[in-house]
Structure formats: C-alpha cells, structure tokens
Amino acid sequence: MENFFQCVKAIGYRVLLLFLVFTSPSVLAFSLQNVAEQAKQLSKENYVAPKSHLPSMFKHLAFDDYQKIYFNSDKTYWKKDHTLFTLQFYHQGMYFDTPVKINEIINNRVQEIQYSPDYFNLTALNQTEMANSHLGFAGFKIHYPINQRQKTDDEIFSALGASYFRVIGKGQVYGLSSRGLAIDTGAISGEEFPRFTEFWIEKPKPKQNYLVFYALLDSPRVTGAYKFILTPGQESKLNIESQLFFRSSIEKVGLAPLTSMYLYGHNQPSTIANYRPAIHDSNGLSILTQDNRWIWRPLNNPKKLAFSTFTLQNPKAFGLVQRSNGFEDFQDLTDHYEKRPTAWIEALNPWGKGHIELIEIPSPDETNDNIVAFWVPEQQINAGDELYLHYQIRYLSDEAARYPKNIARVKDTLYSLGDVRQANLVRQLDGSISYVIDFVGGELAKLSPQQGVKPYLSISDNGELVNSELIYNPIDKGWRLIIHFKNKEMNKATEIYASLLSNDGKDRLLTETWNAQYPAQ
C-alpha cells in the first residue's frame, strides 16, 4: 500500500481521479450527459475551425467521381457479429474535406473506429492506392434488413456533411434531409452551418431492433450534444434529444430543421414542357397546433426568396410532406419521387412560444434543396444560454395515417388561370387566378351531397377574392373548392386560407386549414 501511495504522489492526484472516473461502475454507462459535458466545456473555449489536409486527388473530385469511391462490402463493420445493424463509412472527398471521428461503444467502453484505406475501393478512379493513408471518415451509413429480413444490405440512415442526416423506412428511397441545427438560414448576413465533429455508436446486441448513437456538434456560435435512437420499420422512427450551449448571441436559431426540394407540381406546373407532371421530394408543410388544428401549406418554387411564418405556442408536430405517392403523380422510372418519405416531427417536451418558419428558394432544377422548415423559439438567444429539445421524427409513406379519423385533408391543390363559360360554352380567361382544392376523408366522406357544408375563406390585403364555388365530388366522396382571386400588386405575395365547416348552425371545423401563398411574380 505504501508503494501504491508513493506511485500516486509521483503521477499526481489528477491521473488517479481520471482512473477512478473511467473505472467506477456508476459512470461506466455512456449517456447524453457525457457528450453534453464535452459540448459545454467546448462552448467556453474559442471556436477552432477544422483544418483539411486532404490531398488534391480527393479535394478536386467532381460529384460523379466522388460517388465512384466504393466501400468494400466485405469490410462492413459488425458484418461478422450477427447483428441486425451494420455500418459502412464515407471517405473524405470533394467538399467533405474534414474528417469526422467515429467511436464504437462496447459494454460502455469507448474505442475509436480507426480509419483505414482498406475500407475503400478506388479502382473506378484509376487509383489502386491511397495517396495518403492518414485521412479519415467523412461520415457513415447504417444498414438494416428492412425490406427482406435475411438481407442486411438495406441502407436506412446516412450522415454526411455538416449536421445533415437522412433516414428511410421500408420501400422508401432517400429524399428530404434532416439537420441537427440551422443558424441564420435565409438571413442577409449568410447562413452558418454547424457540424457534427464526432459520433459514438453503441454496438447492438444480435437481435436488437434499434440503434443508439450520439453526436457532438460544433460551430462558431454554438456547441451541442445529441442522442439518437433509430428504430427501423414500415415507418422508421428517430428519437432525438439535443442540448445546445451558445458561445454568442444568434439572431435566428432553427431547431429540428428539415431540408427538401420542390421544383414543380400540380399547384405550380412546369413552365417548360416535361412528361413528368411533378418533380419534388416534398409538396407541402403540415402543422399540428397545440389545440389540434391542422394546417396544410402547399410548397412553391418562387421567383424570389420567400418566407412564411406560423406563430404558435407549444406546437404538437410539423413536417415536410410528400402527399403525392403514386407513380402516376410523377411518371419517373429513374428517381421514383413517389417513394420519397414524409418527415413528421413530434415534440416530446414543451417547446414554448415561437414560430415554424418555411423558406422557399428559387431553383432552376431538381439538384438544389430549395425548401427549409424549422422551429424558431421566441426567446432571444444570448451567449451562455443553454437549450434542451426532445422530439421524434417519423419517416412515413402513408402520411394520411397521421390524421385522426374525423379530420378531412387536402388531397390535391390544382392551379389554373381563371375563366368564365360563355353562352356558346367556350371558356374565356377573365384575368383572375384560380386554385382548385380537393378535400377528402374524415367526416366529409360520410356526408351526402345534400348535407350542409360551407367554405370559410380569408385572403390577405394584396389579394382580391373574385368568387368561389363549392362542388360535391362523387369520385372521392369529398368536396372541391374552386377559388378565383386577383393580385393587386404582382411583385408581392398573396396569402389565402380556406377550410370547410359544417352548415348545421354549429360551424364545426371539418377539415385541415389550407393555406397557400401565391408567390410574388
């Protein structure tokens, strides 16, 4: 014992403390708190921008060439361990030029997954050897037998670049992206992109059907700790807890952000001839308020940058939705937009006062993610502030399953130039703009054409309502609302709201609220 204490004195009490911390049973269980302590300490230090030592052969790759860096499937992580989940990794390259540290947690012990060039195949780039073996991973993917139980090569999760990640469920293909955090998105000062710098992934047990992993986020003005629980299925679910620590004040922090693409669709047809009637990963923003009101906002590809805000207290849920889900909606045998998932975010702790913000960015083609939606808290974010958020993202194919049985939803929004039918039955344009909204389901499906339904309409100051018509739709057993309006100033947007009420003297709300923004021209 005397020799032991002499040794302790020689190496210092600090080393002994570290020894006790990492061997004490009470702290062996790795948790969000471990990452939060790192994030909090990091927030007290000056931000250090990551440095890239990427060789030019990787740094100047075109996107098509970067995709030719293949992961060697025989090196798939956990492949020989008979787990349902397996891992593969992304190589640094292109603008993914800084390495991401990836750790494995086994029996609550952390060990780094070491980068090796043997993980990758570069023969498609006419390279048989890595120019520099002292590189790292750019991100990782998770595989799970979601479509065929015996096959583990179904990719269901991808984390690559900044704080972006994507998830899919059974029968889905990648579409929209989720993010850890958005900062000053759409601001004149420019957007700041926080970055996941390190991950910790718990090795699952052989029959475990969920995967737990953690992430450390860093950025000039904020740090963060994240815990993810991924449960694959018909609809995959991602439970997320985040703790944020702010180095300095932020004008606009976007929480639970989603990023998607909308080029054109039924409510905004293509301006050039195209056999595909629609191209989009999502075609609407859906919101569920604290008092169980449902809001549906069709997306636009505007000519000018557009912002929409929905002020709320403790929202229950919101998401970017792919409401069109039939092949006939897209006619695309290559990209299969009908298989792109809806991302539905459900709050699991009170979010307080704030607003959901939708940003629509002009885009000439489908390669740009031009749609962003997130929650913005009302409270001002200052240096030293901390913020906790808990939510779940459901990645759905049948997005109608989100709705209670009594609420009708908008099946489709169609756009047209307004016209009138003349005595000779020829239609003539009347200078108005027309939206055709089909409401289906809920109580509407139980009502006969003779039972009372009436529209509730509202239009912003820049618009002038010309007329409206409500018609029973025997095909869908719903109701079609046709709205004709005019814009007073074409360089300004016009907001229109519509819903259907019972016409029985009680004015019960039967549908979600349709809210369209006719964009500035």
- On the CB side of 267, CA atoms within 13 Å amount to 29
Nearest residue to 146 (alpha-carbon basis) of 238, 212, 235, 239: 235
The gap from C-alpha 402 to its chain's centroid, in whole angstroms, comes to: 17
What is the pLDDT, as a whole number, of residue 380? Answer: 92
Res. 131: pLDDT tops 80: no
What pLDDT is stored for residue 123 in this prediction? Answer: 86
Residue entry with tokens 């679910």: 237
121-125, 310-314, 412-416: segment of lowest average pLDDT: 121-125
For 37, 91, 244, 247, 450, the CA distances from 41, given in Å and listed in that order, are: 6, 29, 12, 10, 67
Please compute the mean of the pLDDT values over residues 438-460 and round it to a whole number: 91
Per-residue pLDDT tens over the stretch 330-379: 999 999 999 999 999 999 999 999 999 999 999 999 999 999 999 999 99
pLDDT score for 211 = 98
Instruction: State the average pLDDT over residues 448-477.
Output: 92
Q: Evaluate if residue 168 carries a pLDDT over 70.
A: yes
Please report which confidence band the pLDDT of residue 449 belongs to, taking 50, 70 and 90 as the band edges.
confident
pLDDT for res 152: 60
pLDDT for position 54: 86
Query: 47-56, 309-318, 397-406, 504-513: which has the highest mean pLDDT?
Result: 309-318
The pLDDT of residue 6 is above 60: no
Is the separation of the CB atoms in 240 and 358 below 8 Å?
no
Average pLDDT across the chain, whole number: 91
Q: Residue 154, CB half-sphere, CA atoms under 13 Å: how many?
A: 21
Q: Which of 3-7, 88-92, 440-444 has the lowest mean pLDDT?
A: 3-7
Residue 47's pLDDT is what? 96
Domains of the chain: 1-29 (no CATH), 56-402 (2.70.98.10), 409-518 (2.60.40.10)
Q: CA–CA separation, 520 vs 260, rounded Å?
A: 21
pLDDT > 50? residue 8 = no
Q: What is the reported pLDDT for 133?
A: 59
**Rounded-to-integer distance, Cα 449 and Cα 151, Å:** 51
Query: pLDDT value at position 115?
Result: 94
What pLDDT was estimated at residue 346? 98
C-beta separation of 507 from 501 below 8 A:
yes
pLDDT at 149: 66
Confidence (pTM): 0.92
Q: Does residue 24 or residue 137 have the better pLDDT?
A: 137
130: confidence class by pLDDT, cuts 50, 70, 90: low
